[in-house]
């Protein structure tokens, strides 16, 4: 009888370890990896971005899914009208094609609000009130809404050109 009880305990213990192992495997699975390219990858923040905005290109997403492109706000950097506890602002969105590739263009309002941080008057944007993001490296993240695939890239903001 003792060996029978001991065998049951051993079996339960083994099943417990197996369950924990499976649980751990499920919990440790990472999100699918995707690729992201920012064009241009480095630039100074000037109003010319409105004429030639950033392009975002990526692959490795699910077919036809919504892709959201965010700028990750580094600690110590503030963006007008964005609460200090927000860690990202939306730059663009697009849809993947049948092969999981996507392309999106940054909109004018995102350039004005998040990058150039212009002020506004009743007549429109006021570049005299602008306080562009400081020069440095910024992480850009593209996320698939369904697959949760994530692509990362770096955008380097250069110091503004010297005025002549």
9 and 83, same structural domain? no
Containing structural domain, residue 103: 31-158
Q: Is residue 163 part of a domain?
A: no
133 and 60, same structural domain? yes
- Number of domains the chain is built from: 2
Lowest mean pLDDT among 63-67, 115-119, 159-163: 159-163
The DSSP element (H or E) to which 23 belongs, if any, is helix 2-28
Token pair, residue 90, equals 């939306």
What's the pLDDT score for residue 19? 55
Distance CA 59, CA 66 (A): 12
Its pTM stands at 0.78
Measured on CA atoms in the order 66, 71, 75, 81, is the torsion positive or negative?
negative
Q: Is residue 164 part of a domain?
A: no
Q: Which residue has the higher pLDDT, 7 or 108?
A: 108
98 and 115, same structural domain? yes
Lowest mean pLDDT among 22-31, 109-118, 147-156: 22-31
CATH code at 138?
Answer: 2.60.40.10
Pairing status of strand 136-144 against strand 55-59: unpaired
Neighbouring CB atoms inside 10 A of 34's CB total: 24
- Closest C-alpha to 145, from 68, 84, 76: 68
What's the pLDDT score for residue 98? 97
Task: Verify cis geometry, omega within 30 degrees of 0, for the bond prior to 40.
Answer: yes
18 and 37, same structural domain? no
Q: Is residue 80 part of a domain?
A: yes
62 and 134, same structural domain? yes
The string of pLDDT tens digits covering residues 61-104 is: 999 999 999 999 999 898 988 898 889 999 999 999 999 999 99
Q: Is the pLDDT of residue 133 over 80?
A: yes
């Amino acid at each position: 009888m003792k060996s029978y009880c001991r065998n049951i305990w051993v079996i339960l213990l083994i099943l417990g370890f197996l369950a924990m192992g499976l649980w751990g495997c499920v919990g440790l699975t990472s999100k699918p990896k995707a690729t992201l390219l920012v064009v241009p990858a480095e630039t100074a923040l000037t109003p010319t971005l409105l004429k030639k905005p950033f392009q975002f290109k990526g692959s490795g997403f699910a077919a036809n899914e919504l892709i959201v492109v965010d700028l990750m706000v580094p600690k110590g950097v503030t963006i007008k009208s964005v609460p200090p506890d927000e860690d990202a602002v939306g730059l663009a969105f697009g849809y993947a094609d049948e092969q999981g590739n996507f392309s999106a263009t940054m909109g004018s309002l995102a350039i004005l609000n998040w990058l150039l941080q212009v002020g506004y008057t009743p007549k429109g944007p006021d570049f005299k009130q602008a306080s562009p993001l400081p020069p440095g490296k910024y992480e850009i993240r593209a996320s698939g809404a369904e697959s949760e695939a994530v692509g990362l890239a770096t955008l380097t903001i250069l110091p503004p050109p010297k005025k002549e």
